[in-house]
Amino acid sequence: MNVKIDLSQTYLKTKRLILRPWQEDDVEDFYEYARVEGVGEMAGWSHHQNIEESQMILKTFIEERKTLAIVYQENNKVIGSIGLEYCRDDLDSSFDNLKGREIGYVLNKDYWGKGIMSEAVACVIDYCFKELQFDFLCCGYFLENSRSKRVNEKMGFTFYKNVIHRTRYGVDKKTVLNVLYNNSE
């Protein structure tokens, strides 16, 4: 189910975006959006309190090699991230022999409502299904996160089940877990 991945050499491009590995000098852009209340909370983590917190998490992104920076080509600014996380324990045994991961994403609030995340997610789905040969991807969203719900719908994810997700800040949140199967075979 949780296939081993290494995105440290992965560079993807869309009309407006470059998806690439994180670099240490991305910390200012990262902190700019990660410190805004309501951004991280929609993804399950608390907004950053200082740039040192962003540096520590950025270092983890680089070391884990499973999260890409979303760079807006127009201004060459990092405006978000998209990662391929381990699948939750909530999946039933029908997934045991399938290759996949859970896609997660966050975007700078200044760029919400412009179709940017749908563009990034579509690109990563294509990469996962065509290049990495994944059988499926999961994606979840908190019930109150209508923006992530809309991205899930646009990308063709279908309802799998409702779950309770414990956030990194210790709150249990009602979450919809969706799945998308690779039908290109």
What domains does the chain contain, in order, with CATH numbers?
12-135 (3.40.630.30)
Q: What is the C-alpha separation between 61 and 55, in angstroms, rounded?
A: 10
Residue 37 has pLDDT above 90, yes or no: no
- For strand 100-107 and strand 77-85, is the pairing parallel, antiparallel, or unpaired? antiparallel
Alpha helices in 27-167 (DSSP H): 27-34, 51-64, 116-126, 146-155
Mean pLDDT across the chain, nearest whole number? 91
* pLDDT of amino acid 184: 65
Q: What is the C-alpha separation between 31 and 29, in angstroms, rounded?
A: 6
- For strand 17-21 and strand 12-13, is the pairing parallel, antiparallel, or unpaired? antiparallel
* pLDDT of amino acid 90: 78
Q: Tell me the mean pLDDT in the region 64-82.
A: 97
Query: Three-class SS of residue 51?
Result: helix
- For strand 17-21 and strand 67-72, is the pairing parallel, antiparallel, or unpaired? antiparallel
* pLDDT of amino acid 166: 74
* pLDDT of amino acid 173: 75
pLDDT in tens, 120-179: 999 999 999 999 999 999 999 988 888 999 999 999 999 999 988 776 667 787 889 999
* pLDDT of amino acid 169: 67
Q: What is the C-alpha separation between 173 and 164, in angstroms, rounded?
A: 5
pTM as predicted: 0.92
* pLDDT of amino acid 89: 77
* Side-chain half-sphere CA neighbours of 108 within 13 A: 16
* pLDDT of amino acid 126: 97
